[in-house]
């Protein structure tokens, strides 16, 4: 049934691609190119350490491990695969890997062909990635399989009565490095218990690394600075915002002239940016058109590009992370690492770090515009509340860092001292 489901999913993707869907076409073409990439770039005299990430978020979780491996064992070969176009298209030129490609759909034939060409000496599947046919082939070839930053919930198929066959693939994982105790308890219910270690989330290590090497952005810094001896402005940075987030944010900014807004929408195209501008009662400046001379003439700065958000948060008084009125919030630790309060929407229950940050006071959740107004009014009137929430956010990130060295020591300390087969 599983393989039939994969076949039907692949068929749907190809049909959608045939009608011009951009991401579907990229996926179909990319998976077709995988076989050429493996034939041309895999050295048959080498063995590869394989990391698989569904998309960009999972890649960020695996990155601390990849970079430490590259730093301490530069001669080892690394294969990096993605399932989603949003991951591959952004990171296909990543220099930390020797080979980067799509992972083809998980059919038995594709799995056998891929493993034969890729020659992995070990495999890392990040967070939610459990491809049964690939895992079966790796297991039968006695290739170690590791699950990194994995997190489990009771509703997942592995823990349902009808998912027992699928749960078998979990029993073939060499070792799980999970985020929390609940995941340990769930794995125990299906007989997985002696090969599980709680390490937390490698994303905390990643965001600390990003913070430590954050870009200096003179234009944003100038925007966030006080003018002519005036008090330091209140700077709200809204990251990865969607339309429901923006409706709330922009209305508040329109009514509070003391606030400066830096907004980095999730969708960056001319039509969406025009929508944002139409909702504002004050002129906005596009980052691509900003200069040190004109930026302080505006209260709203729109980031009309990618790759800057993780560095922009450092200039915030308060951060808003979008997505909480849709399928789920974006990267909360990316903002919290700077020791600033974070505000998010209601759809955050699946994100353990958001729930924990709400509990410790570093993050505030809103259900509607009234909630946002109440939180922001409190922050404007009580700077000490900003400091307290920011301190809690920063403390949580620092307290939960350290997963990467534990995983590295467990997997690589001995394995990479062995000669390659």
Residues 118-151: tens digit of each pLDDT:
999 999 999 988 999 999 999 999 999 999 999 9
* Beta-sheet strand order (sheet of 196-198): 99-102, 77-82, 48-53, 120-126, 145-150, 175-178, 196-198
CA distances from 190 to 124, 203, 325, 367 (A): 21, 27, 34, 37
Q: Which two tokens stand for residue 72?
A: 């301490």
Asked if pLDDT for residue 203 goes beyond 80, the answer is: yes
**CA 366/CA 378 separation, integer angstroms:** 14
The pLDDT score that the predictor gives to residue 419 is 52
Please state, in angstroms and as integers, the Cα–Cα distance from residue 379 to each residue in 236, 247, 343, 349, 354, following that order.
11, 20, 11, 24, 20
Q: For residue range 31-61, what is the model confidence (pLDDT) as tens digits?
A: 999 999 999 999 999 989 999 999 888 999 9
The confidence score (pLDDT) of residue 418 equals 54
Interval 160-188 mean pLDDT: 92
CATH number of 2-200+402-415: 3.40.50.11720
pLDDT of residue 414: 60
Q: What is the pLDDT, as a whole number, of residue 16?
A: 86
Provide the 3-class DSSP secondary structure of residue 360. Answer: helix
- Residues 6 or more apart whose CB falls under 8 angstroms from that of 117 comprise 35, 38, 39, 42
Token pair 């990543």 is found at 94
- Quote the CA–CA distance of 247 and 238 in Å, as a whole number: 12
CB contact set of 304 (below 8 Å; sequence gap of 6+): 268, 273, 286, 287, 288
Buried b (16+ CB within 10 A) or exposed e, 372-381: bbebbeebbe
Q: What is the pLDDT of residue 415?
A: 61
Q: Which two tokens stand for residue 103?
A: 């992972």
Superfamily of domain 213-400: Glycogen Phosphorylase B; (3.40.50.2000)
Confidence band (pLDDT; 50, 70, 90) for 367? very high
pLDDT at 183: 95
Phi and psi at residue 58, in whole multiples of 5°?
-65, -35
In terms of Cβ atoms closer than 10 Å to its own Cβ (0-12, 13-18, 19+), residue 190 is middle
Q: Is 419 exposed, middle or buried (0-12, 13-18, 19+ CB in 10 A)?
A: exposed
Task: Please write the tens of the pLDDT for every residue from 270-290.
Answer: 999 999 999 999 999 999 999
69-78, 209-218, 335-344: which is most confident: 335-344
Q: Which residue has the tokens 């068929």?
A: 11
Comparison of pLDDT for 164 and 134, the residue scoring more = 134
Write the pLDDT tens digit of every residue in 7-38.
888 899 889 888 888 888 888 998 999 999 99
3-state secondary structure of 393: helix
Neighbouring C-beta atoms of residue 283, cutoff 10 Å? 10
Q: What is the pLDDT confidence band of residue 114, given thresholds at 50, 70 and 90? A: very high
**Predicted TM-score of the model (pTM):** 0.82
Specify the pLDDT at position 192. Answer: 94
Measure the CA–CA gap between 29 and 232, rounded to whole angstroms.
51
317: three-class secondary structure by DSSP: coil
What does pLDDT average to over the chain? 93
Q: Tally Cβ neighbours within 10 Å of residue 217.
A: 18
Alpha helices (runs of H) in 190-305, residue ranges in sequence order:
202-212, 218-224, 243-255, 270-279
How distant, in Å, are the alpha carbons of 222, 239, 294, 333, 401 from that of 53? 37, 23, 41, 19, 20
Instruction: Assess whether pLDDT exceeds 80 at residue 399.
Output: yes
Task: Decide if pLDDT at 321 tops 90.
Answer: yes
Residue 41 is predicted with a pLDDT of: 96
In this predicted structure, the answer to whether residue 312 has a pLDDT above a threshold of 70 is yes
Alpha helices in 73-172 (DSSP H): 85-91, 108-118, 132-140, 164-167
Closest by alpha carbon to 110, among 80, 77, 143, 83? 83
Instruction: Give domain limits for the chain.
Output: 2-200+402-415, 213-400
Q: What is the mean pLDDT of residues 291-320?
A: 95
């Amino acid at each position: 049934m599983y393989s039939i489901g994969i076949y039907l999913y692949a068929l749907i993707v190809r049909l959608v691609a045939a009608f011009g869907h951009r991401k579907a076409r990229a996926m179909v073409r990319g998976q077709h190119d995988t076989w050429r990439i493996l034939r041309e770039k895999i050295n048959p005299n080498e063995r590869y350490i394989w990391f698989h990430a569904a998309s960009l978020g999972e890649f960020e979780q695996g990155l601390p491990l990849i970079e430490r491996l590259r730093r301490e064992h530069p001669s080892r070969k690394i294969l990096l695969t993605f399932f989603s176009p949003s991951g591959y298209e952004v990171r296909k030129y990543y220099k930390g890997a020797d080979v980067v490609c799509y992972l083809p759909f998980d059919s038995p034939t594709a799995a056998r062909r891929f493993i034969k060409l890729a020659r992995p000496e070990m495999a890392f599947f990040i967070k939610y990635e459990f491809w049964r046919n690939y895992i079966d082939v790796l297991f039968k070839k006695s290739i170690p399989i590791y699950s990194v930053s994995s997190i489990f919930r009771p509703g997942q198929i592995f823990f349902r009565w009808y998912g027992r066959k699928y749960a078998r693939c979990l029993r073939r994982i060499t070792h799980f490095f999970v985020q929390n105790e609940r995941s340990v308890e769930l794995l125990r219910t299906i007989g997985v218990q002696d090969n599980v270690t709680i390490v937390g989330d490698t994303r905390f290590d990643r965001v600390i690394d990003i913070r430590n090497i954050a870009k200096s952005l003179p234009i944003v810094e100038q925007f966030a600075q006080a003018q002519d001896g005036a008090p330091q402005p209140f700077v709200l940075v809204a990251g990865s915002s969607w339309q429901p987030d923006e409706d709330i944010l922009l209305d508040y900014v329109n009514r509070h002239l003391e606030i400066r807004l830096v907004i980095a929408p999730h969708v960056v195209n001319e039509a969406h940016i025009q929508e944002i501008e139409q909702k504002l009662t004050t002129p906005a400046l596009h980052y691509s058109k900003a200069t040190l001379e004109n930026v302080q003439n505006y209260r709203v700065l729109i980031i009309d590009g990618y790759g800057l958000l993780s560095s922009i948060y450092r200039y915030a008084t308060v951060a808003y992370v979008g997505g909480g009125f849709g399928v789920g919030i974006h990267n909360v630790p990316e903002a919290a690492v700077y020791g600033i309060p974070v505000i998010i929407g209601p759809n955050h229950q699946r994100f353990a770090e958001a729930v924990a940050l709400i509990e410790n006071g570093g993050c505030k959740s809103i259900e509607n515009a009234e909630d946002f107004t109440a939180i922001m009014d409190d922050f404007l009137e009580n700077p000490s509340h900003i400091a307290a929430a920011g301190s809690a956010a920063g403390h949580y990130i620092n307290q939960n860092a350290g997963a990467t060295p534990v995983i590295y020591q467990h997997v690589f300390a001995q394995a990479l001292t062995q000669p390659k087969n």
